[in-house]
Amino acid sequence: MCVPEASWVPAERLKFVNRFVVERADSCISCGLCASLCPNGVHKRVEGHASILPPYNQRCIGPSCASNDYYCVRRCPTSSLSVRASETFPALGDVRWTADMVLATWRMAETGEPMPLDHPANLGACGGGFDQLHFRIPKGGSKPKDYQFETSVELNRRKTGPRVKIDIPVYGGGMSYGSVSLYTMVARAKAAQAWGTFTCTGEGGYPVELIPYKDHVITQIATGLFGVKEETIQRAPIIEFKYAQGAKPGLGGHLLWEKNTPLVAKMREAVPHTSLFSPFPFHSVYSVEDHKKHLDWISSVNPQALLSVKVSTPNDVEMVAVGSYYAGAHIVHLDGGYGGTGAAPEIAKKNIATPIEYAIPKVHRFLTNEGIREDVTLIASGGIRNALDVAKAIALGADGVVIGTAELVALGCVRCGNCESGRGCPRGIATTDPELIHQMDTEWGAKRISNLFLAWRGQWGDLLSRFDMHDLKELRGRTDLLRFDGGKEVKA
């Protein structure tokens, strides 16, 4: 495969938070010593200005700098400088996406440099699931620079049909036109093209701007059938049936009226400024036989397409997976309860259907015992936030994963969670507001997502080298390489 190169894609508007704050007291005489000392560029004096600029906190490395000669706080002749912990830092993120993880994702999107495997940003703080699963990495043995490894995944594992391979075990989840902006969609498609993988239209139609990337765009068919046309089915190499989604398992889809602008409505063939519900379930599917009929319908419209079935994680998820396989699906896509990007009732996110961590090993084992594991691709999604989550999902038994939130964070999402209503995302990512969307452009976005994948690939390489492996596929189902920290306090 050809690995895209890293590019430097900074975002000035994401440089607003750091762990530390540098304060300059009024006693400063603007001598400029600090500006000449600091190698990180915290202090700056513009040529011709009498006084020095306010400190650039985001560049400060904190009190640990005291061991350096150039520690500004100590060297300041008037003792006007001080460094303390930032109060803004804890206001960013949440226990699942910690501030560290958000900042690390931004940094990887900016530079394409992988984070070390022991970096705190690889773990969230939600106290369960992936956050309590760790790789049992053998001591020593860091990666040789030219370590060769393979990350591709074959998506059609049946004996017949077109061969479709993705170069990294990740593709983009469905985010509809309407839920996110066109710029976001195109940026994701561009990055998918660069990495030989896919992105997904979501349930909101197939904008013409995506057609240049059509070999890397999955058409989603969901219960509302919004924007599904014969040509959008024929255009796509993979068709994804969305039976349920992790954000709101069993509840269908929901676009609040404020985000249903005339353009969105046109694409969906709906009335502007009405709330759009996708029902649950497909009204034409009430049994596994109906489900097969559904897949057959698509096969007849586009015989070259792979069929993916996206389901959520109920108690009997393994039966659903087996049923989908026998109905003709190439890909079984499990979407766990804690993920998702769309508007969802809070009660559904926490309480309905299980987190993905429980579903993957269950389905993997069941498919293995059924003797069909090698004929079907198992894709996991829902709360997979970083490269190590991907690797853990694979070690639990998945072939690959689907991500959504991580891409949005790479585009500058701060996880404030207000994408669902009003004018939508105030940062212009998940919105169709004609004014707000201009905060982003597609080239910039595509490079940042591409950088993120590059950094992730570096982390997978690092991980593989520790286990003396050369292919991510070797990791699949290797639960013996994992350690679980939980399971003690919840004992009934």
- If DSSP codes are grouped into helix, strand and coil, which group holds residue 171? strand
Q: How far is the CB of 291 from another protein (least distance, A)?
A: 5
Cβ atoms 239, 308 nearer than 8 A: yes
- Residue 64 or 351 having the CB closest to another protein: 351
Q: How far is the CB of 159 from another protein (least distance, A)?
A: 25
- Residue 215 or 289 having the CB closest to another protein: 289
- Residue 260 or 312 having the CB closest to another protein: 312
Cβ-based neighbours of 139, under 8 Å, separated by 6 or more: none
Question: Using a CB cutoff of 8 Å and minimum separation of 24, what contacts does 210-214 make?
Answer: 210/185, 210/186, 211/235, 213/186, 213/189
Q: Which amino acid is at 224?
A: G
- Residue 103 or 194 having the CB closest to another protein: 103
Q: How far apart are CA 75 and CA 391, in angstroms?
A: 46
Cβ atoms 174, 200 nearer than 8 A: yes
Helix axes 387-396, 356-370, angle to 10 degrees: 30
- Residue 196 or 361 having the CB closest to another protein: 361
DSSP 471: B
Q: What is the token pair recorded at 88?
A: 């803004």
Q: How far is the CB of 482 from another protein (least distance, A)?
A: 5
The per-residue DSSP string of 186-248 comes to HHHHHHHHHTT--EE--SS---GGGGGGGGGEEEEEETT-TT--HHHHHH-SEEEEES--TTS
- Residue 10 or 417 having the CB closest to another protein: 417
Q: How far apart are CA 456 and CA 109, in angstroms?
A: 10
Q: How far is the CB of 154 from another protein (least distance, A)?
A: 26
Nearest-10 Cα torsion for 102, 104, 105, 106: 90
Q: How far is the CB of 352 from another protein (least distance, A)?
A: 5
Q: How far is the CB of 72 from another protein (least distance, A)?
A: 17
The residues with which 332 forms a beta bridge, in sequence order, are: 309, 378
Q: How far apart are CA 122 and CA 444, in angstroms?
A: 25
Q: How far apart are CA 352 and CA 258, in angstroms?
A: 26
Q: How far is the CB of 225 from another protein (least distance, A)?
A: 14
Count the Cβ atoms, other than its own, within 10 Å of residue 138: 10
Q: How far is the CB of 393 from another protein (least distance, A)?
A: 12
Q: How far is the CB of 408 from another protein (least distance, A)?
A: 8
Cβ atoms 226, 318 nearer than 8 A: no
- Residue 286 or 297 having the CB closest to another protein: 286
DSSP 5: P
- Residue 188 or 216 having the CB closest to another protein: 188
- Residue 186 or 408 having the CB closest to another protein: 408
- Residue 167 or 399 having the CB closest to another protein: 399
- Residue 216 or 310 having the CB closest to another protein: 310
Q: How far is the CB of 145 from another protein (least distance, A)?
A: 32
- Residue 136 or 229 having the CB closest to another protein: 136
- Residue 174 or 323 having the CB closest to another protein: 323
Q: How far is the CB of 26 from another protein (least distance, A)?
A: 11
Q: How far is the CB of 148 from another protein (least distance, A)?
A: 29
Q: How far is the CB of 231 from another protein (least distance, A)?
A: 27
Q: Which amino acid is at 30?
A: S
Q: Cα angle vertex 90, ends 414, 104, to 5°?
A: 50
Task: Say how far residue 256 (Cα) sits from the centre of its chain.
Answer: 23
Q: Cα angle vertex 317, ends 314, 321, to 5°?
A: 150
Cβ-based neighbours of 440, under 8 Å, separated by 6 or more: 181, 183, 184, 187, 411, 412, 428, 429
